[in-house]
């Protein structure tokens, strides 16, 4: 597995536009990203459901399993660890995660691309 390549930070929206425990879809450098603000943390993953193949992860259900923040696919309900992107139900399946931060009240995302 190759190391991920990081792109530049892109401002997406003000932090107060993200409702706690609700997803928002954003287009970042041509990639659909799902953003979440839960448990005081920000998470960014691909909006593409790796099992169903549709751009729907921003509509997923935020929760937790074993103390981990999770996201359940709205299609087939597979659960993903938001901190790693790993699917907790299907071995070898994962969501691509992206770096996300809040700077001066703005949520910024930096895409992670596999080489």
pLDDT digits (tens, 9 = 90+) for 66-94: 999 999 999 999 999 999 999 999 999 99
For residue 5, the model assigns a pLDDT of 63
Average of per-residue pLDDT across 84-113 = 96
Distance CA 18, CA 36 (A): 7
The Cβ of residue 18 has, within 10 Å, a number of other Cβ atoms equal to 19
Residue 115 has pLDDT above 60, yes or no: no
Chain mean pLDDT for the chain: 93
Residue of 87, 86, 31, 35 whose CA lies nearest to 58: 35
85: nearest Cα among 37, 43, 42: 43
Question: How confident is the model at residue 50, as a pLDDT?
Answer: 97
Mean pLDDT confidence for 30-34: 97
Could you tell me the maximum CA-CA distance found in the chain, to the nearest angstrom?
38
Share of the chain above pLDDT 90, in %: 90
Record the pTM.
0.91
């Amino acid at each position: 597995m190759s190391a991920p390549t990081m792109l530049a930070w892109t401002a997406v929206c003000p932090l107060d536009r993200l409702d706690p425990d609700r997803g928002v879809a954003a287009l970042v450098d041509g990639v659909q990203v799902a953003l979440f603000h839960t448990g005081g943390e920000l998470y960014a993953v691909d909006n593409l459901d790796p099992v169903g193949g549709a751009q729907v992860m921003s509509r997923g259900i935020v929760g937790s399993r074993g103390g981990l923040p999770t996201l359940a696919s709205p299609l087939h309900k597979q659960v993903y660890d938001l901190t790693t992107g790993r699917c907790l139900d299907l071995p070898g399946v994962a969501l691509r995660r992206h770096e996300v931060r809040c700077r001066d009240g703005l949520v910024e995302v930096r895409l992670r691309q596999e080489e």
